[in-house]
């Protein structure tokens, strides 16, 4: 962001009003006339967080826009149910907004995903106490999940047999994730579905690096064994 050619003092102003690399002094007068939305789109994350913490709802909603897909997908893979995942994601942002003053820097993404994972744990606990989802419903949901996953898993020019196999595989993958214990499931989802680093997963789950690695490796092994046990097509 810093430009060696820019005059001293501009860096600070630039950080406050815009994320662009250099603002000539004459343009600084025009900043006030730029639309708020345009400014926000250029804001770096920490500026958005600071603005949101000072009560700026538009800034917070920018953060929601940035992370809602990720939060929803975490909840979706954890809960295996679209509507429940949407509720969990909505509650995550409610809770984040309410607790925003408690955020003390670091990775906002990790902080948000930690809230999301806690909410998912709570939902799963309630579900365990009052099991309303039957195995058939779980399979049906997994089929839906598998169906929506097909777009990526299937090859466009694949033959029907291949298509059916891949559909089955996607369904099995969703069920395999559900078969994992919660701590391993969240570790595998964060690592392999969301592509987060071990350190980030440690921050989100509150576990040590060794525990994170252990959960991921055991989770992966269980997914593999589940697929192996339930599907002869795993090796394809």
Partner 1 sequence: MALGRAAYNIVNQIKAGKENSGSEGDDHRAEWLILISDYIDGTLPEAASQRLKTHLAECAQCTADLEGLRQTVKLLRRLPEVSAPRSFILTPAQARRLRPSPVYRYARVAAAIAAAFLVFAFVLDLVGLFAAPAAQPSAVAVATADPTPTLEAVGSLSGGTNRAGAGSISGLTTNITATATANPTKVATTAPQTQAAASEDLTPIRWVEIVLAVVLIMFASFAFVLRPRAPGRLKI
CB of 110 to partner 1, least distance (A): 18
Residue 48: closest CA among 87, 96, 84, 88: 96
CB of 7 to partner 1, least distance (A): 38
- Is 36 a binding residue for partner 1 by CB under 8 A? The answer is no
Within positions 76 to 135, which residues make up the interface with partner 1, using CB under 8 A?
76-77, 82-83, 86, 89-95, 97-98, 100
| CB count in 10 Å sphere of residue 208 | 10
CB of 210 to partner 1, least distance (A): 8
Site string for partner 1, 48-67 (x = CB under 8 A): -------x-x--xx--xx--
Which residues have C-beta within 8 Å of that of residue 41, sequence separation ≥ 6?
A: 62
Burial 45-69 (b: 16+ CB within 10 A, else e): eebbbbbbeeeeeebbbbbbeebbe
Nearer to partner 1, 2 or 65 (CB): 65
- Is 143 a binding residue for partner 1 by CB under 8 A? The answer is no
Q: Give the distance from CA 63 to its chain's centroid.
A: 12
Spatial distance between the Cα atoms of 32 and 148, rounded to a whole number of angstroms:
45
Nearer to partner 1, 13 or 221 (CB): 221
Query: Cα–Cα–Cα angle for 121, 215, 108, nearest 5°?
Result: 55
- Is 183 a binding residue for partner 1 by CB under 8 A? The answer is no
DSSP H or E segment with residue 113: helix 108-129
Residues in contact with partner 1 by CB under 8 A are: 55, 57, 60-61, 64-65, 68-73, 76-77, 82-83, 86, 89-95, 97-98, 100, 145, 148-149, 151-153, 169-170, 173, 188, 191-193, 195, 198, 213-214, 216-218, 220-221, 223-225, 227-229, 234-235
């Amino acid at each position: 962001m810093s430009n060696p050619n820019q005059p001293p003092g501009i860096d600070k102003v630039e950080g406050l009003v815009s994320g662009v690399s250099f603002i000539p002094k004459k343009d600084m007068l025009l900043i006030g006339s730029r639309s708020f939305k345009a400014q926000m789109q250029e804001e770096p994350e920490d500026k958005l967080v600071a603005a949101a913490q000072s009560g700026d709802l538009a800034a917070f909603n920018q953060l929601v826009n940035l992370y809602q897909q990720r939060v929803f997908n975490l909840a979706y893979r954890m809960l295996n149910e679209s509507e429940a995942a949407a509720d969990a994601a909505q509650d995550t942002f409610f809770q984040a907004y309410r607790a925003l003053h408690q955020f003390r820097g670091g990775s906002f993404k990790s902080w948000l995903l930690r809230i999301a994972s806690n909410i998912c744990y709570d939902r799963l606990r309630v579900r365990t106490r009052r099991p309303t989802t039957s195995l058939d419903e779980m399979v049906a949901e997994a089929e839906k999940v598998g169906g929506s996953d097909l777009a990526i898993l299937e090859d466009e020019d694949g033959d029907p047999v291949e298509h059916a196999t891949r559909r089955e595989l996607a369904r099995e993958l969703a069920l395999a994730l559900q078969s994992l214990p919660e701590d391993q499931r969240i570790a595998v989802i964060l690592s392999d579905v969301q592509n987060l680093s071990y350190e980030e997963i440690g921050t989100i789950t509150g576990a040590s690096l060794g525990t994170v690695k252990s959960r991921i490796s055991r989770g992966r092994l269980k997914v593999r064994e589940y697929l192996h046990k339930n599907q002869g097509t795993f090796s394809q």
